[in-house]
A and B are shown apart, each in its own frame.
Chain A
């Protein structure tokens, strides 16, 4: 699995857009980029997944540049309830398991 690097923590205010960037320099051709959100004492929740360009769903957007060596999770107009840990994972996961790093701890302030 490609190694990922993301900021340990970020602070934001309610109503702002938050962008969390993940670096994955050795991403392979068949690898997907997947983001999970986790609240304390709960299991991670799938947010969004992409392969290239831009993906958008009702929760977030995922921007992936042409070289795919990084990706950016964008959360529009965050609220206090978006305070959580966000994990970036990269891989095709066939014959491989999910490897979670420490994630990014997002704190949304009023």
Chain B
């Protein structure tokens, strides 16, 4: 049973570019959440997807957008990259009916130069 997978593992971009990160949830899970984690800090919630719709959103600008596909996988898109977007981006999955337990992927390390 595969856990949460994310791709790519690492990514280097320059300011102003756009990036797309991908996530496949744990088998059976229908809800995907995305987090940003800066060095030395706890993960910060970006948004959550269920039934292909954004259900909740944290305090992140519209440059951050996402999508969920019918197979429950998800993408995180960030436009007009800033140096401050450099972070570990984490995807977590859960059952919509049991949100109290989330399983996290290994993350994508994004470096913006």
Contact = CB atoms under 8 A, between A and B. Distances in A.
Interface in A26-84: 32, 34, 36, 41-46, 49
A87 B92 CA distance: 15
Q: Is the interface of B mostly helix, strand, loop or mixed?
A: strand
Contacts of A15: none
A10 interface: no
Q: Is the interface of A mostly helix, strand, loop or mixed?
A: loop
Contact of A93 (B100, B103, B105): B100
Contacts, number: 58
A95 B56 contact: yes
A93 B99 CA distance: 6
Q: How large is the interface on B (under 10, 10 to 19, 20 to 34, 35 or more residues)?
A: 20 to 34
B2 to A, nearest CB: 14
Interface string B67-92: 00000000000000000000010111
A41 B107 contact: yes
B42 A87 contact: yes
A21 B60 CA distance: 31
Interface in A82-101: 85, 87, 91-101
Given A42-B107, A97-B48, A32 B100 contact: yes
B44 interface: yes
A102 B42 contact: yes
A56 to B, nearest CB: 17
B45 A43 contact: no
Interface of A: 32, 34, 36, 41-46, 49, 85, 87, 91-103
